[in-house]
């Protein structure tokens, strides 16, 4: 590992989950197109992308000037592209930039510089840019850019406020917009002196009233006979109430960064804890939850993150202490393994308070082994990810202990689980974590040393192939294609012509035979046929 100072650029799409939910395939196609624009500008400006996660991009630049100029070019270019779409379908990035001390490890960058850039991105307007004071000082006299000072901002998990500036973006007529100044952190304004006696008086009156009510209520309660069958209070000792219970640590996992949603308010505790429903965790942690955690009395809490890191606290003095202890233990474990995901409360007592529900999962079976199409795993052939991700797979997945697996989403997000007790455990956990990251069901691409789905090499992989919703195929013919592909083993290909009539090459012994058969079958029904799907992937011409 080595340290260095770099300008860190963080970007992601505003409202991406909503766009995917409304029209997944169109959103993913447009994301790929927009990412080409973003990547091209970054490369031309001398930047380097060091991490991606679906719609998020993290890049480093040798200078703040280059980073800001690149961000402006990206925003102006994408604004022009968005004009072709209605406001509800526009795809706009937020961008945050800072200068910071970072640690480089295996091509990835870690440290406060990366975290602050991500927080600044969250402060930016839709289609806008937010920079730190250090960047503003470097850029202010070197670029003809206007800024709005939004002051010191309290941001999540950064101990000191971050002084930030909004970049004024140019309008169509050449004028500049005025950024909306976000709420500035700081102490609330003091109340006028004349109000304090009034406030004290009101509080005193309320306190006397509440005290009297409780006193007389206690007298009435003391007179009443004890209720039969009342549940005994949970016992706790001073020693037990001071320590968090250590749940078994998870097998380390790796996932790309993505902003976490805000949890919903907790539900009331009660009932048996549903350990079988907890996602992201291995069997050791599940056994702990079924036994020690489930049977322990309050106050207790359990926290986790998408990477499978967990923390729990039993026999705490109150609910708040249990919450804090569980989150702290989980986050310490995640930070120690450089997990980019934040921990969230999953349960308080035996009540699940996790806001995100079960992650989307594909139908079972999750893996269909086929000796005709399976081949040795090779990082360079992993589909739909860029070179930094392939390098990470080579350095982390290939040498890792079994059982291990990698899941892939339609948008190119991926998640790997390594060192699991079984292939079933690793595939379930990688699908859960990948699905939670992407917001859509993922697909198992590799298990242990092999690719377990056909990996096309003759054409470029562009996404997941779903015949039932593929607009290239004539609507009346889609159900037939779905039916014929359902149980077809070996290599399979789908071709279409100008009229959308499909041709199929099924159960072939190799990729080339499947492609040739699909083209020949299509040519009998249509003209100008081309292949659109091979195995589980959509394909296009190789650039």
SS3 for 238-302 is CCHHHCCCCCCCCCCEEECCCCCCCCCCCCCCCCCCCHHHCCCCCHHHHHHHHHHHHHCCCCCEE
Question: Residues 6 or more apart from 357 whose CB is under 8 A from it?
Answer: none
pLDDT of 541 above 70: yes
Give SS3 for 75.
Answer: helix
- Amino acid 258: pLDDT: 37
pLDDT of 90 above 60: yes
Residue with tokens 């960058």: 109
Tell me which long-range contacts 217-220 makes (C-beta under 8 A, separation of at least 24). Answer: none
- How does DSSP assign 503-523, residue by residue? EEEEEESSHHHHHHHHHHHHH
Burial degree of 418 (CB within 10 A; 0-12, 13-18, 19+): buried
C-beta of residue 17 within 8 angstroms of C-beta of residue 439: yes
- Amino acid 1: pLDDT: 66
CA pair distance 374, 507, nearest whole angstrom: 14
C-beta of residue 289 within 8 angstroms of C-beta of residue 314: no
Average pLDDT over residues 396-410: 92
pLDDT of 86 above 90: no
CA pair distance 417, 431, nearest whole angstrom: 9
Average pLDDT over residues 296-306: 92
Q: Categorize the per-residue pLDDT at 245 as very low, low, confident or very high, splitting at 50, 70 and 90.
A: very low
pLDDT in tens, 203-228: 455 445 545 444 444 333 333 333 22
- Amino acid 288: pLDDT: 92
pLDDT in tens, 350-388: 999 998 888 999 999 999 999 999 999 999 999 999 888
Q: Which of 66, 76, 14 is nearest to 43 (CA)?
A: 66
Average pLDDT over residues 129-141: 91
CA pair distance 43, 139, nearest whole angstrom: 20
- How does DSSP assign 425-476, residue by residue? HHHHHHHHHHHHHHSS--EEEEETTEE-S----SSEEEEE--GGG-TTS-GG
Distance of CA 512 to the CA centre of its chain: 37
Instruction: Report how far apart the first and last C-alpha atoms of the chain are (Å, whole number).
Output: 36
- Amino acid 253: pLDDT: 37
- Amino acid 2: pLDDT: 79
Task: Supply 80's token pair.
Answer: 């022009």
Over the chain, what is the mean pLDDT? 81
Kindly report, as residue ranges, where domains of CATH 3.30.70.1230 are found in the chain. 2-167
What letter does residue 422 receive in the DSSP assignment?
S
Q: Categorize the per-residue pLDDT at 88 as very low, low, confident or very high, splitting at 50, 70 and 90.
A: confident
CA pair distance 236, 88, nearest whole angstrom: 54
Range 2-167 classified under CATH 3.30.470.30: no
- How does DSSP assign 297-323, residue by residue? PSS-EEEE-TTS-EEEE-S-SSHHHHH
With a pLDDT cut of 70, the percent of the chain lying above it is: 81
**Helix pair angle (64-82, 24-44), 10° resolution:** 150
CA pair distance 17, 56, nearest whole angstrom: 12
Task: Using DSSP bridges, classify how beta strands 129-132 and 93-105 pair: parallel, antiparallel or unpaired.
Answer: parallel
pLDDT in tens, 48-57: 998 887 788 9
């Amino acid at each position: 590992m080595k340290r260095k100072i770099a300008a860190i650029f963080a970007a992601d799409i505003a409202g991406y989950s909503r766009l995917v939910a409304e029209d997944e395939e169109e959103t993913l196609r447009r994301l790929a197109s927009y990412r080409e624009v973003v990547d091209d500008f970054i490369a031309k400006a001398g930047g380097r992308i060091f991490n991606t996660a679906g719609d998020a991009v993290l890049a480093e630049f040798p200078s703040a000037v280059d980073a800001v100029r690149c961000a402006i070019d990206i925003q102006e270019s994408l604004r022009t592209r968005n004009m072709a779409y209605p406001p509800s379908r526009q795809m706009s990035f937020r961008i945050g930039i800072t200068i910071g001390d970072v640690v480089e490890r295996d091509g990835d960058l870690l440290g406060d510089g990366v975290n602050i850039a991500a927080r600044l991105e969250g402060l930016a307007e839709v289609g806008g840019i937010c920079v730190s004071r250090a960047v503003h000082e470097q850029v202010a006299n070197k670029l003809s850019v206007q800024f709005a000072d939004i002051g010191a901002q309290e941001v999540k998990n950064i101990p000191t406020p971050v002084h930030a500036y909004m970049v004024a973006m140019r309008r169509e007529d050449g004028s500049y917009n005025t950024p909306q100044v976000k709420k500035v952190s700081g102490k609330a304004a003091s109340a006028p002196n004349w109000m304090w006696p009034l406030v004290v008086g009101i509080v005193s009156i309320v306190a006397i009233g509440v005290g009297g009510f409780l006193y007389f209520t206690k007298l009435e309660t003391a007179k009443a006979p004890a209720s039969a069958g009342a549940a005994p209070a949970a016992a706790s000792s001073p020693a037990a109430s001071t320590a968090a219970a250590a749940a078994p640590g998870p097998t380390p996992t790796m996932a790309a960064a993505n902003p976490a949603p805000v949890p919903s308010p907790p539900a009331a505790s009660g009932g048996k804890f549903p350990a079988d429903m907890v996602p992201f965790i291995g069997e050791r942690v599940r056994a702990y939850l079924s036994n020690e955690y489930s049977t322990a009395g309050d106050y207790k809490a359990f926290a986790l993150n998408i990477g499978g890191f967990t923390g729990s606290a039993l026999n705490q003095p109150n609910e708040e202490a249990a919450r804090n202890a569980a989150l702290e233990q989980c986050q310490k474990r995640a930070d120690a393994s450089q997990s980019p995901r934040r921990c969230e409360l999953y349960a308080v007592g035996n009540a699940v308070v996790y806001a995100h529900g079960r992650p989307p999962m594909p139908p079972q079976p999750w893996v269909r082994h086929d000796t005709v199409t399976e081949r040795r795993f090779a990082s360079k052939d992993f589909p739909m990810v860029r070179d930094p991700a392939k390098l990470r797979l080579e350095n982390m997945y290939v040498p890792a202990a079994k059982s291990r697996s990698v899941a892939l989403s339609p948008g190119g997000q991926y998640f790997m689980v390594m060192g699991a007790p079984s292939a079933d455990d690793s595939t379930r956990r990688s699908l859960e974590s990948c699905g939670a990251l992407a917001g859509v069901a993922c697909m198992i691409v590799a298990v242990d040393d092999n690719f377990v789905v056909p990996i096309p090499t003759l054409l470029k992989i562009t996404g997941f192939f779903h015949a039932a919703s593929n607009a290239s195929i004539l609507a009346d013919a889609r159900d037939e294609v779905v039916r014929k592909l359902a149980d077809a083993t070996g290599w399979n290909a789908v071709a279409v012509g100008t009229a959308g009539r499909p041709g199929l090459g099924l159960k072939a012994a190799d990729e080339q035979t499947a492609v040739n058969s699909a083209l020949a079958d299509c040519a009998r029904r249509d003209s100008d046929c081309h292949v659109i799907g091979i195995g589980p992937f959509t394909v296009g011409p190789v650039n």
